Every structure is written in C-alpha cells, then in structure tokens.
Structure 1
Amino acid sequence: MARTTTLLGAAAVAAALVLTGCSGSGGAGAAAAAAGPDLPIGDEVSTTVDPALTALLPDDIVEKGRIDVAVDIPFPPMAMYDDTNREVGFDPELGRLLGQKLGIDVSLNKQAFDSVIPSLQAGNNDIIMSGMNDTPERQETLDFVDYTHGGFAILVAAGNPKGITTQADLCGTTVSVQKATVQGELLRAMDCGSDPVTVTELPSDLDAQTALRAGKSDAYVSDAVVAEYVAATTADGEAFDVVRDPENPAGFNPVYSGIGLLKDDAGLTEAIRQALQALIDEGTYQQVLDRNNIGAYAVASAEVNQGAAQ
C-alpha cells in the first residue's frame, strides 16, 4: 500500500531531525533513539536535504523518525568497521547519504546475511543494504532499487595450486561461499556432468575466505568487488590470487545488486529510488563508489528490479 505524507509535515520532521536527532547506528528500537543522528562525518561524502524527497516518505517512517537498515558486517568493501568501530564502506556510507538527502536519520543494524529478509518481515528493519543480488527469486518477496552491476570473481590460494583459470575449471573442486548467496546457486547449477562442484556454504563471507586460506576449499567465489578487495588486502596481497577468466574479464554472470524492500512498501521504495537518482545526478553516488574502490560497477540511473531482465 502506497503511503505518503504532506510536504508541511515531512519538512517539519526533517527540521526536527536536524535540530534534535533521532537515532544512531548500531541497533533499532528505543535504545537507538538517544544516540543522536547518524550523519556523514570526516572525509565521508555529504549532501543536502531535498524537502520534495522528504515529502515522499511514508507516514510510519516519518512518525518513527528513522529508516532502519539491515546490513551484514563485515563484508568489505560493502560494509566494515573502522578503528573507532564506526560502520564504513559502500553500504553504510550510501545509507547515511540517502538519509541525509531524504532529511531523515538512518539506523545501521548489523544482521547476518541469511536473516536480513526475515528481519524486514518481522518489522525490525525497513530496508536491506548488504550487497544483495537482485534476482527473480528474491523479487517474489522484495523490490530492489539497484545500485551496482557487476559479476562474480574466483579467488584461489596464492600461486593457484589447482590451476583454476576459468569458471569451468571449478568442476570437481570444493568452493566456499557465504550462506544464502546467489553464488552457491550458480555453482550448483553448473553443467559439470559427473564431476560437480562441491559447494561449502558458511555463515559469513569471512568464514568462506578463511576456508580457502586454511586449505578446506580449492576456491572462494564472491562478488567481484569483494573478491578484488580481499585479494588486495589480505596478508598484504600475498594470500590469494584472482582468477582472470579471459572470457569474463569483468567477472562471470554479471548481476544487479541493490537496496531491498518488502513489496508492500511501495512508497518507501519510490522515496529511496528518487533519492538515489538525486545522488547519481549530483555526483555524490559516484564519489561513494570511488572512495570504496568500486567505481567501475556504477549504474547509470536508479531503477527498480532490473534483475528480472537478466
């Protein structure tokens, strides 16, 4: 059901938020309400409020005074903690930027990836910002405001002891992935004849990386943006190699990823979509991508459910 609020009411709420604040990051509910507004700080990208976009926010969000965001942390470069325990990375920084543009606070709530959708269904969070791939299956439950487009990448131990050079070489190997991700589905669907991929699903992306490093898997598969970051930063770049498949130089099976919202939250979906479009138009969206080293995976415009057309 679409829900809107008047410009006067929304603007008043936005002004109140600027003056008093509502919630901080790190958890939903009353405990967050006293922490103050979660806004960009330091060298993070910043923007300005657009009252016309604030007017699009549904009444229940305006009354609550914040948007609760489910985010799986750590999942660098999409989300991680800095040395002050502040949530940083593409998702937290873009989430704060969207809140600033909409004139409302955001609460960044750590949530295991396989429980982010149930957290929306239970009313604990309003949106998902966790590098989630936009797929037809997920669209049965969610609508996506897509914010990146890119493929998956394969990581192997340094020196590539198994000689994996293409996606097809994964047949007959053990591959670690994070639980409940599209990568696991794609690997199981590969046509390997009598020598299928053995998929090891683990609770977190870091667990999947650790399995490869410990020799419990032959490869690790993740979003290209994540895999590139992991290869460059783990053990000063000496732990892993990225498999460069000549037939898929930008990663295999490119997909859209985006912000997930329940299908009955059409009003909030449109508010988020228009706010993202405003950030794209003014260039701050690209700045957030670039500062997190994923500028090549930008979308040209803010669209909904592009995954259905892939």
Structure 2
Amino acid sequence: MALRTTLTTTGLLGATAVLASLALTGCSGFGTAAAGAADAGGPDVPIGDEVSTTADPEIAALLPAAIVEKGHLDIAVDIPFPPMAMYDDTNREVGFDPELARLLGQKLDIDVSINKQAFDSVIPSLQAGKNDLILSGMNDTPERQETLNFVDYTHGGFAIVVEAGNAAGITTQSDLCGRTVAVQKATVQGELLRAMECGSSPVVVTELPSDLDAQTALRAGKADAYVSDAVVAEYAAATTSDGEAFDVVRDPENPAGFAPVYSGIGILKDDAELTEAIRQAFQALIDEGAYQQVLDRNNIGAYAVESAEVNRGAGS
C-alpha cells in the first residue's frame, strides 16, 4: 500500500521504496459486515479484537449532504492485498484498509460499504460514481493528484523479494538489470523498473493482474524477483509456506530500506467537503490512538504518520 507509487528518479526504486524492515512476524453500520451480519440487516461494527471508536457529531456534520442522504460511504478496496486487505475464514474483510474504513464510519456516524475493486479500476470507480473513497494502499503521487486528493495515512515504500536462498544472487537494486521481475498491474512498479539505468540489459518487467499473481510467478520460476510494497513484501515473506518460500533483499547500500513515500485515502479532487470530513475524522483517530492500534494490529506500526494531512506526495 505501501504502498503504490510513481517514478521521479532513475535507479530501481529511486524515490520510492522500502522503509525500515518490518519485524513481521455490503453495507455496515459502522464498518464492514461480519459474515451474516449484513444479511441479517443489522449494522456491522468492529468485532472481536478489532479496534473500535465513537462518533463525533461535529465531524459527522462535515459530510456532504449527498453522502448523508445516501446513508453510507462506498469504499473501493483491492482484495486480497495482505496485510492491507484480505478475507478471514468467515469471508469478512479484514486488514488495515477495511478496519480503518470501519473506524472512519464509526467516527462519522455513517454506514460504510466496502466494495471489492481491482486496483487498476479504483480511480475510474470514483469517477463513475460507484465509490466515494479509495482505501487500497495507493501511493500519493503528483500524477494521481491531478485527479485525487489524498488524506495520507502511511509512509513506506517498496521491497525486492526473491526465492528463499536467493539462488539468483540478487543483493542490490542494480542486480535486477537483465532479470525478469514480476509486479502487479497498474501499481507503477513497472515504470520504476523500466526506468532503471541498465544499459543494454534492461529489466524484463512482467505485469500481472494481482500481487498474488506476481508472487506465484516468482514461486513458479517465471520471474527472478518480484517487487511490491514493503509492507506487503514483508508479510508475504513472513507468512508464505511458514516463511520458507521467500527472502526480502536487504540492499547494503540502503540498510534502512529504499526512500519511503506517502500513501493515503483517495478522494476525487473536486470533493473538498468529503476530503475535509475524512481528514478530520482521521485526525481524531490519530489523536485518540485508534489509528496506531489498527496499524499495530496489522503489524505495520512502523509506517505511521503523525498527523492527518492532504497531498504530501508532491515531488515524491
């Protein structure tokens, strides 16, 4: 989510990439539905050990009249994209993005509908009026700011993943030159890789429909590496085959990871009222500690932002 960015410099992940490595280990009343809750017609509040909050009437009053009249926020989320978004064993949407969506719904005292949407169609879904917000690990970039406002919610970057044991011998970003690298379609990693200065041996970029497809290509030997958001890469390395399938490349020239970028909640540029309502709701979640709790719950606490600000990705 890490999360998904654009290119401003040459070199593999020049201006975007891994933060410090992680120690990874329907409609709803105030969130998304647990299996069966929406079918029963009741609101779907955070359950179990999920983080919860309370409504703030003053912030709720900032919502545009059209949203209030509709009675819920439609939120585009690319699922699965663990740990940002995934399904649990009851088919309930969990992970940072769905859980933050629930918190925003609670704070704004409005239903949210979490709508599964392929990442390459999340922006068109807003333009078509299908969704109101994007919560999908989307990097805040100058190019995307031409269409969207971003309430920035994480600060992170990208990582390089190889098969366990790293038989390909990829130890630095320059080692990707001449290699086949799998990425998810429309995440802009492809642009980053194609822009590398590799002389006569450019990176061979394989763009696939989902991040999981890119991981599968690596496991199947169809790629030498896969590049993804750091939080996703670390999660994949820690959880796939009990941590035995992948290694994350630790570039000795970048021991703390590649330069991070902001990612955020995407809202159409001309929707200033909704942008401000979301910004203030998010700030309230930061102030009360609920935001940090949901980060920590999903093992991405190192990617926190300190305040709710808009469009910090300029120049990233």
Q: Normalising by structure 2, what TM-score?
A: 0.87
Alignment of 1:2-17 (within 5 A): none
Q: 2:205 aligns with which of 192, 199, 206?
A: 199
Distance in structure 2 (CA, Å) of the matches to 1:44 and 1:298: 18
Distance 1:249 1:64, change over 3 A: farther
Distance in structure 1 (CA, Å) of the matches to 2:282 and 2:145: 20
- Report if the CA contact (8 A) 2:153-2:308 is conserved: yes
- Report if the CA contact (8 A) 2:32-2:98 is conserved: no
Distance in structure 2 (CA, Å) of the matches to 1:33 and 1:117: 28
Q: 1:45 aligns with which of 39, 47, 51?
A: 51
Q: 2:303 aligns with which of 268, 277, 297?
A: 297
Which SS does the other structure have where 2:199 is aligned? Answer: coil
Distance in structure 2 (CA, Å) of the matches to 1:65 and 1:33: 17
Q: 1:165 aligns with which of 171, 191, 200?
A: 171
- Report if the CA contact (8 A) 2:151-2:278 is conserved: yes
- Report if the CA contact (8 A) 1:66-1:104 is conserved: yes
Percent identity, please.
84
Alignment of 1:133-282 (within 5 A): 133-282=139-288
**Per-residue deviation at 1:21?**
4.6
Q: Which residue in 2 is equivalent to 1:17?
A: none
Distance in structure 2 (CA, Å) of the matches to 1:250 and 1:93: 28
Distance in structure 1 (CA, Å) of the matches to 2:117 and 2:134: 9
Which SS does the other structure have where 2:152 is aligned? Answer: strand
Counterpart AA for 1:153: A
- Report if the CA contact (8 A) 1:23-1:36 is conserved: no
**Per-residue deviation at 1:38?**
3.0
- Report if the CA contact (8 A) 2:32-2:93 is conserved: no
Unmatched 5+ stretches in structure 1: 1-19, 27-31
Q: 1:107 aligns with which of 80, 105, 113?
A: 113
For CA contacts below 8 A with separation 6 or more, give which structure has more relative contact order. 2
Unmatched 5+ stretches in structure 2: 1-27
Q: Which residue in 2 is equivalent to 1:82?
A: 88
Counterpart AA for 2:235: Y
- Report if the CA contact (8 A) 2:32-2:102 is conserved: no
**Per-residue deviation at 1:185?**
1.4
- Report if the CA contact (8 A) 2:135-2:266 is conserved: yes
Instruction: Give the structure with the larger helix fraction.
Output: 1
Which SS does the other structure have where 1:193 is aligned? Answer: coil
- Report if the CA contact (8 A) 2:78-2:85 is conserved: yes
**Per-residue deviation at 1:24?**
5.5
**Per-residue deviation at 1:169?**
0.9
Distance in structure 1 (CA, Å) of the matches to 2:253 and 2:263: 22
- Report if the CA contact (8 A) 1:150-1:251 is conserved: no
**Per-residue deviation at 1:140?**
1.0
Q: Normalising by structure 1, what TM-score?
A: 0.89
**Per-residue deviation at 1:193?**
1.2
- Report if the CA contact (8 A) 1:22-1:66 is conserved: no
Which SS does the other structure have where 2:112 is aligned? Answer: strand
Which SS does the other structure have where 1:186 is aligned? Answer: helix
Distance in structure 2 (CA, Å) of the matches to 1:291 and 1:23: 17
- Report if the CA contact (8 A) 1:24-1:33 is conserved: no
CA RMSD, aligned part only?
1.7
Distance in structure 1 (CA, Å) of the matches to 2:66 and 2:72: 10
Q: Which residue in 1 is equivalent to 2:138?
A: 132
